[in-house]
Amino acid sequence: MSGQAALERLPGRSGWARPGPWLRIAALRASGIVGVLVVWAIVGQFGLVRPFLVPPLPAVVAQLGDDVVTGGFAISAASTLYRALAGFALACAIGIPVGILISRNRLVGWFVTPIVSVGFPTPTLAFLPIFMLWFGVFDLSKIVMTTFSTVFTVIAAADAGTRGVERHLVWSAESLGAKRTAVFFEVMLPAAMPQILTGLQVALPLALIVEVAAEMLMGGDGLGGRMLQAENYADSVGVYAGIIEIAVVGAIAVGGMARLRQRLLRWHVETAAR
Amino acid sequence: MIGTAIRYAPLLILAALWEAVTRLGIVPREMLPPLSTVFVAFVGMLRDGSLPANAAQSFLRGAAGLAAAIVVGFLLGAGMALRPRFHAVAGPLVQAFYPLPKTALVPLVMIWFGLGDMGKIVLIFLGCLLPVTLGTYNGIRGVDRVLVWSARSLGARPREILLEVMLPAALPQLLTGLRTATAFAFLLMVASELIIANNGLGYLIGSLGDNGAYPAMYAAIMTVIALGFFADRGFAALSAHLLRWRA
């Protein structure tokens, strides 16, 4: 899991080997995204590709503006986020205690570990037809689906996090006379927190990935469901606008999670180093 | 051998529990068919060839998309780690693409490539690209400078430094990225085939479910789980083998 912490570090903000004048750096950094938009605008303007494949940029922008003004975006984003976050929260509520128990109790560890090692790499979306059969096609089955998809990641992180806590920390606290509950809440849990949060940072995007796919399969008024509807009506402007809207929601979720990490780990070296 | 048996015994207990609750009628059979009927359906689908044929189709899609993602992702990650100017241009694009839930691209690849193999391969390629890129990038950035300087002072050429110093040193992170990418490949393969396809394991699961052939549907789902599990185990074994030189 320690490697996954590194995966969360995105390129772009870190230092330079040889910093040049800031204006040139800013221009270079903007050039990628501006370049994509310019190519898109030119392709659309001169009809180099069929507009169905790449709809003109202004049409997509207009559609986005329309979605924001009419409130369609807010409603769809809210129902997607509600189901993804509810499933994710449930996964945390189950996964963190179970993960901690695995590392602390041999019987629980013996029973749950093989289940997690099968569940962790499983493409959990394969279970969607089962959950439809059990829980119907409305919110409940989608929430259960996102919980099921993310809970193994959370369990694995909580297990590895508590297992990796330095023994000396626990021994010191014990020798100073701390009670078991105090040792757990004031030493073990904070020490395991960075790794648990890393697991959550992997799990939250996964929840969105699965939620969007579940909406495409079962309908429902979310961003994914609306996109597939647009696809069925051959409305490629709607599809492009939908991707941008989902990307915005994803960026908010990922950014919010990183913020939460900073807040919770204010005391940690990792945050101080920034 | 006995150790493995004890380790995986809980799965057998779960299987026995599954059979028991369905045989005793605690859980209705329309919800959960007994495990034994699922096994019979599994053997039946092996015999009539529907399971191997669809699995082969899915495997080809997953492997093609993943292979392309590994090649392009490695070049992208290495380029960003080694060339500041390229880093400045590509970094923001990577940052913008990273938080997008990749299943949102399913309708897009349908518009571009229709229902066939190409759309699924491109989807898996796009979904697996960033884990490989970030693994390579962070791996190479983390390489001890002293190693590179030593190699250079001993007269190694840039290509040799990349392949014989940087690649091995970056391997642990690269492999972590690859493992994530492999899991993503399976997930996106199943997602895209469930949403729209004419063949493949995801399609098989969806169509069996629509027809109410639940034992067969469960058999197909358990096949996907087994494939994902063995791919992950195989990958872990390969990683351990490749990293055996580490202390």
Q: Does residue A6 belong to any structural domain of this protein?
A: no
- Residues of chain A in contact with residue B85, where contact means CB-CB under 8 angstroms, are 28
3-state secondary structure of A184: helix
Evaluate if residue A203 carries a pLDDT over 90: yes
3-state SS string for A42-92: HHHHHCCCCCCCCCCHHHHHHHHHHHHHHCHHHHHHHHHHHHHHHHHHHHH
pLDDT at residue A61 in the model: 93
Is A258 part of the contact surface with chain B (CB cutoff 8 Å)? no
Both A67 and A48 in one domain: the answer is: no
Whether B53 is in a domain gets the answer: no
Q: Are A67 and A163 in the same domain?
A: yes
pLDDT of res. A85: 96
Instruction: Give how many domains chain B has, as a whole number.
Output: 1
Asked if the structure places residue A122 within a domain, the reply is yes
Among all residues of chain B, which has the CA nearest to that of A135? B31
Predicted TM-score (pTM) of this structure: 0.88
Q: Could you tell me which residue, B207 or A268, shows the higher pLDDT?
A: B207
Least confident of A20-24, A70-74, B208-212: A20-24
My answer on whether A75 and A121 are in the same domain is yes
Range of the domain at B71: 35-45+65-242
- From A14-28, A173-187, B61-75, the region with the lowest mean pLDDT: A14-28
Same domain, A33 and A145: no
A8 in a domain, yes or no? Answer: no
- Domain shared by A149 and A249, yes or no: yes
- Disruptive mutation site among B98, B124, B196 for chain A (greatest number of A CBs within 10 Å): B98
Are the C-beta atoms of residues B81 and B173 closer than 8 Å to each other?
no
Asked whether A221 and A213 are in contact (CB, 8 A), the reply is no
Q: Which residues of chain B have a CB within 8 Å of the CB of A130? A: 217-218, 221
Residues B166, B140: contact at Cβ < 8 Å? Answer: yes
Q: Is residue B231 part of a domain?
A: yes
Which domain CATH number covers A184? 1.10.3720.10
Exposure string for B223-238, b = 16+ CB within 10 A, e = fewer = bbbebbbebbeebeee
B195/A52 touch (CB, cutoff 8 Å), yes or no: no
Residue A50: closest C-alpha in chain B: B112
Helical packing angle, A236-264 and A57-70, nearest 10°: 60
| Set of chain A residues whose Cβ sits within 8 Å of the Cβ of B176 | 3-4, 6-7
Does some domain include residue A9?
no
How sure is the predictor about A13, in pLDDT bands with cuts at 50, 70 and 90?
very low
The whole-angstrom distance between B139's CA and the closest CA on chain A is 9
Phi, psi dihedral angles at A47 (to 5 degrees)? 60, 40
Whether residue A81 is contained in a domain is answered as yes
Query: A226: which chain B residues are within 8 Å (Cβ-Cβ)?
Result: none
CB contact under 8 A, B187 and A125: yes
Residue at B77 is within a domain: yes
Lowest-confidence region among A20-34, A141-155, A162-176, B198-212: A20-34
Chain A residues with CB-CB distance to B30 below 8 A: 133
* Best residue in A7, A22, A50, A210 for a mutation probing chain B (most B CBs within 10 Å): A7
Pair A170, A266 in one domain: yes
Number of separate domains in chain A: 2
Q: Distance of CA B72 to CAs B68, B128, B184, Å?
A: 6, 10, 16
- The verdict on A231 and A116 lying in the same domain is yes
Chain-chain contact of B221 with A36 (C-beta, under 8 angstroms): no
Query: Which chain B residues have a beta carbon less than 8 Å from that of A116?
Result: none
Whole-number pLDDT of residue A8: 43
Tell me how many residue pairs between chain A and chain B have CB atoms under 8 A apart: 206
Q: Is residue B1 in some structural domain?
A: no
pLDDT score, position A33: 85
B75 lies in some domain? yes
Higher-pLDDT residue of B29 and A91 is: A91
**Minimal Cα–Cα distance from A135 to chain B, Å?**
10
Q: Locate the chain A residue with the closest alpha carbon to B186.
A: A123
What average pLDDT is seen over chain A?
86
Q: What digits encode the pLDDT tens for the residues A218-232? A: 887 899 999 988 988
User: What is the domain extent for residue A42?
Assistant: 18-54
pLDDT value of position A5? 40
pLDDT tens per residue, range A102-150: 988 999 999 999 999 999 889 999 999 999 989 988 899 999 999 999 9
Given pLDDT bands bounded at 50, 70 and 90, which one contains residue A54?
A: confident
Q: Which residues of chain B have pLDDT under 70?
A: 247
A46/A157 same-domain check: no
A 112-151 residues with CB below 8 A of B? 112-115, 117-118, 120-130, 132-134
What CATH code is carried by the domain that includes residue B86?
Answer: 1.10.3720.10
Co-location of A95 and A175 in the same domain: yes
- Measured in angstroms, the CA of B155 and the nearest CA of chain A are apart by 22
* Residues in B 200-219 with any Cβ partner in A closer than 8 A: 201-202, 205-206, 209, 214, 217-218
**CA–CA separation, B79 and B83 (whole Å):** 6
- Output the 3-class SS for chain B: CHHHHHHHHHHHHHHHHHHHHHHCCCCCCCCCCCHHHHHHHHHHHHHCCHHHHHHHHHHHHHHHHHHHHHHHHHHHHHHHHHCHHHHHHHHHHHHHHCCCCHHHHHHHHHHHHCCCHHHHHHHHHHHHHHHHHHHHHHHHHCCCHHHHHHHHHCCCCHHHHHHHHHHHHHHHHHHHHHHHHHHHHHHHHHHHHHHCCCCCHHHHHHHHHHCCCHHHHHHHHHHHHHHHHHHHHHHHHHHHHHCCCCC
Same domain, A29 and A148: no
pLDDT at A272: 63
Q: Which residue of A has its CA nearest to B215?
A: A130
> Do the domain assignments include residue A221?
yes
- Nearest-neighbour CA in chain B from A175: distance (Å): 33
For residues A143-168, average pLDDT: 92
Residues A48 and A137 in one domain: no
Contact B194 A29 (CB under 8 A): no
Angle at CA A126, nearest 5°, toward A124 and A127? 75
Half-sphere exposure of A214 (CA within 13 A, CB side): 35
A3 is a domain residue = no
Inform me whether the C-beta atom of residue B230 falls under 8 Å from chain A C-beta atoms: no
Q: What is the ipTM of this complex?
A: 0.88
- Name the B residues in 60-119 with CB < 8 Å from any A CB: 80, 84-85, 87-96, 98-108, 110-112
Task: Indicate whether A144 and A234 sit together in one domain.
Answer: yes
